[in-house]
């Protein structure tokens, strides 16, 4: 989850040097540092429950799940760095350097949307993520209502599919499993639930 801040322009090397010492996370896009904002209960519950389900599904396979926004993804073509809410890598993870905190080859990325980050996640981040050759699926999960949008790479396009009912199941073809919306939203209460 990110919140826009006053522009601060740095080289990628300067960003990484600062970021590795920082107590708060920031993303890096087009020379600009974007401070990360805190997350709501709903955001945390959705992220944890989604990652737990994926981790259980993938436990004995070739794919691995990383969550909590601690693993940075580098988009080599654009020189940008992001902290996805959840990232899945299949095969051997490739790091950008010997610090092993920047993944180069994600297969699937999940972002949990909030009102302050929705446009950023849907537009700017996705524009960068599409430049990653290994990325096959991008999942956007709303925390405001039951809504999941799945983008699947089908060269030369990314095809969106929307899911809006708790009985829906998202087929995650790239990692060989399914994601039921019931699992995503199991602990989230919406205004209409009162």
Q: Which of 167, 129, 166, 169 is nearest to 151 (CA)?
A: 129
Tell me the average pLDDT across 26-34: 87
Asked whether the predicted pLDDT for residue 14 surpasses 60, the reply is yes
Asked whether the predicted pLDDT for residue 111 surpasses 50, the reply is yes
Asked whether the predicted pLDDT for residue 194 surpasses 50, the reply is no
| Residue 131 DSSP label | T
Residue 153: alpha-carbon gap to chain centroid: 16
Q: Count of CB atoms within 10 A of residue 33's CB?
A: 20
Give the CATH fold of the 39-193 domain. Answer: tt1808, chain A (3.90.1570)
H-assigned helices in the chain: 12-19, 41-58, 118-119, 126-129, 181-184
Answering whether pTM is above 0.85, one says yes
For the stretch 31-83, pLDDT in tens is 888 888 777 899 999 999 999 999 999 999 999 999 766 789 999 999 999 99
Domain map (residue ranges) of the chain = 39-193
Positions of E strands within the chain: 26-29, 32-35, 63-67, 72-75, 80-82, 86-90, 102-103, 108-113, 137-142, 148-154, 157-163, 169-172, 177-180
């Amino acid at each position: 989850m990110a919140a826009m801040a006053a522009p601060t322009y740095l080289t990628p090397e300067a960003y990484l040097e600062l970021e590795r010492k920082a107590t708060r996370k920031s993303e890096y896009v087009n020379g600009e540092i974007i401070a990360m904002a805190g997350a709501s209960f709903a955001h945390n519950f959705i992220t944890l429950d989604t990652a737990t389900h994926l981790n259980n599904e993938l436990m004995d396979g070739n794919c691995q799940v990383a969550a909590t926004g601690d693993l940075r993804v580098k988009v080599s073509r654009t020189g940008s760095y992001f902290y996805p809410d959840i990232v899945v890598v299949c095969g051997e993870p490739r790091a950008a350097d010997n610090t092993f905190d920047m993944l180069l080859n994600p297969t699937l990325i999940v972002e949990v949307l909030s009102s302050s980050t929705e446009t950023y996640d849907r537009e700017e981040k996705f524009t960068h993520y599409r430049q990653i050759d290994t990325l096959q699926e991008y999942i956007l999960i709303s925390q405001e209502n039951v809504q999941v949008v799945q983008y699947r790479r089908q060269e030369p396009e990314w095809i969106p599919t929307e899911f809006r009912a708790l009985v829906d199941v998202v087929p995650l073809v790239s990692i060989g499993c399914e994601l039921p919306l019931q699992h995503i939203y199991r602990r989230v209460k919406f205004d209409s639930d009162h």
